[in-house]
């Protein structure tokens, strides 16, 4: 048996070749959140487990099956953060943000941890982009939040997307629909999946969210909540639809969309590719959660938000063959082979870096020929060559690696930084 360590199952190393995608997504997040007036917040990677048990709901898959829960040395039961909204609402309450001008617009990019079955685009540790607007009941906020995520995906070059939209009403009027739904499913309980039979009593709305093949024949004929909305929820929903249409964002109503968390009310949505029917095709989603802050011990505070996995966004960028900018390689490579040259090499490299010029220093224990091969393969535009003769004379050779035949010039140490900067156009 091998004793070599590997990354834990369901995690990944983000290698240098993948970093340009992450840089592109993070830059787009900075730009879009600025345009919509959001400010960044960062919460801890672990929280009291009870925050998610109470906030996300103890009948959700997140709490029942997926949370990483542990007891610390002080005996406190903690959980690695599985989703961002309860943590941000906890911070909203703890730091008195209700006294700030309302609504408060917050965003974060945060590692999330869920013990889930690993598959392409879904990891046990993933990074989520979250936006939350806390302190507004306006349906225009719902549309604005959806538009923000849409504009992010658009900016990143994603194509063939649509918004799937629904309303799950408010908790009180929803109860009558839930009873109607249970009456429909009750005669078929013994034919449903184990998860659906368990949810029948604890969280019957989730019956419509099942991906189990045994449950699919019953979903289409089930009564639809969208057909039984309260007047207030129906009016709210119409404004959201009108605002999305005004923003030019394609959407379709999805009567089976309920999302997987207990705290949602009224608007729920997902953004999905229209040309990809994979089960894990959703690249972002969320909804309104007017009761969550109250559940966590605060006053009634309306709110709206979403989460979007950055790994899923990048997977979609790659599927769409979106080109990203590669980071520039250091344009200068120092080749050196001389006794006692290390001090001068460090000094010269420091002078160039002080001018903002990136430098790679070669390995002095390798031959000049080997170092020059390294300079050429590194993508550098200029090699600075320092041998025994140059060190003794107080000079260095500046060799242009981009010219056929490699034009070069010898310059004094004092003129080296200015000469290189001029050749690179950064003087």
8 A C-beta contact, residue 236 and residue 139: yes
Could you tell me which residues are beta bridge partners of residue 77? Answer: 71
Give the pLDDT score at 269: 96
Q: Which residues contact 215 (CB under 8 A, 6 or more apart)?
A: 192, 193, 196, 207
pLDDT digits (tens, 9 = 90+) for 29-45: 999 999 999 999 999 99
Interatomic CA distance for residues 204 and 300, integer angstroms:
25
Domain ranges of the chain: 16-170+230-319, 332-424
According to the model, what pLDDT value does residue 164 have? 94
What are 54-85's pLDDT values in tens digits? 876 655 666 777 889 999 999 999 999 999 99
What pLDDT sits at residue 203? 79
CB within 8 Å of 281: residues ≥ 6 apart = 272, 273
Please answer whether residues 228 and 27 qualify as being in contact, where contact means their C-beta atoms are separated by less than 8 angstroms.
Answer: no
Closest of 322, 418, 329 to residue 376, by C-alpha: 329
Banded model confidence at residue 279, pLDDT cuts 50, 70, 90: very low
Angstrom distance (rounded) from CA 264 to CA 292? 8
| Strands of the sheet with 303-309, listed across from one edge | 39-40, 104-113, 125-134, 303-309, 284-288, 265-273, 161-167, 251-253
* Cβ-contact 252, 130 below 8 angstroms: no
CA distance 304 to 283: 18
Regarding the domain with residue range 332-424, which homologous superfamily does it belong to in the CATH classification? Answer: Anticodon-binding domain (3.40.50.800)
Give per-residue pLDDT as tens, 360-378.
Answer: 999 888 998 999 999 999 8
How sure is the predictor about 389, in pLDDT bands with cuts at 50, 70 and 90? very high
- Measured at the CA of 256, the angle between CA 254 and CA 257, to 5 degrees, comes to 70
Q: With CA atoms as reference, report the closest residue to 319 among 151, 156, 146.
A: 156
Arithmetic mean of pLDDT over the chain: 90
Query: pLDDT tens digit string along 193-252?
Result: 888 888 888 778 878 877 788 888 888 788 888 888 999 999 999 999 999 999 999 999
Percentage of the chain lying above the pLDDT 70 cut: 94
Summarised one tens digit per residue, pLDDT across range 324-333 is 988 888 999 9
The two structure tokens encoding residue 262: 């207990």
Domain 16-170+230-319 CATH assignment equals 2.160.20.60: no
């Amino acid at each position: 048996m091998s004793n070599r360590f590997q990354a834990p199952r369901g995690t990944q190393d983000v290698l240098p070749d993948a970093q340009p995608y992450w840089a592109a997504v993070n830059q787009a997040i900075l730009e879009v959140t600025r345009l919509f007036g959001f400010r960044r917040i960062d919460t801890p990677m672990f929280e009291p487990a009870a925050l998610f048990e109470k906030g996300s709901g103890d009948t959700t898959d997140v709490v029942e099956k997926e949370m990483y829960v542990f007891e610390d040395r002080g005996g406190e039961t903690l959980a690695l953060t599985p989703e961002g909204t309860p943590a941000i609402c906890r911070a909203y309450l703890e730091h008195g943000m209700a006294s700030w001008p309302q609504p408060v617009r917050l965003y974060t990019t945060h590692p999330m941890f869920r013990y889930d079955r690993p598959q392409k685009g879904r990891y046990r540790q993933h990074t989520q982009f979250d936006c939350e607007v806390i302190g507004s009941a306006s349906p225009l906020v719902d549309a604005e939040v959806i538009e923000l995520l849409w504009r992010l995906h658009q900016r990143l070059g994603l194509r063939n997307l649509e918004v799937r939209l629904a309303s799950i009403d408010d908790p009180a009027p929803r109860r009558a629909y839930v009873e109607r739904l249970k009456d429909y499913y009750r005669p078929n309980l013994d034919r449903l999946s184990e998860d659906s039979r368990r949810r029948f009593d604890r969280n019957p709305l989730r019956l419509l969210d099942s991906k189990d093949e045994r449950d699919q024949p019953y979903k289409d004929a089930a009564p639809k909540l969208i057909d039984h909305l309260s007047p207030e929820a129906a009016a709210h929903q119409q404004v959201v639809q009108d605002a999305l249409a005004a923003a030019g964002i394609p959407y379709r109503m999805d009567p089976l969309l309920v999302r997987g968390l207990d705290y949602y009310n009224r608007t729920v949505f997902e953004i999905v590719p229209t040309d990809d029917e994979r089960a894990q095709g959703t690249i972002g989603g969320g909804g309104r959660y007017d009761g969550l802050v109250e559940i966590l011990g605060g006053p009634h505070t309306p709110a709206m938000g979403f989460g979007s996995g950055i790994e899923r966004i990048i997977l979609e960028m790659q599927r769409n063959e979106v080109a990203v900018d590669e980071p520039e390689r250091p344009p200068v490579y120092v080749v050196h082979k001389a006794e006692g040259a290390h001090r001068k090499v460090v000094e010269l490299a420091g002078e160039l870096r002080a001018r903002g010029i990136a430098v790679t220093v070669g390995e002095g224990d390798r031959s000049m020929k080997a170092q020059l091969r390294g300079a050429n393969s590194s993508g550098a535009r200029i090699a600075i060559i320092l041998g025994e003769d140059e060190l003794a004379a107080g000079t260095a050779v500046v060799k242009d690696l981009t010219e056929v035949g490699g034009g070069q010039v010898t310059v004094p140490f004092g003129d080296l930084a200015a000469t290189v900067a001029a050749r690179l156009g950064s003087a």
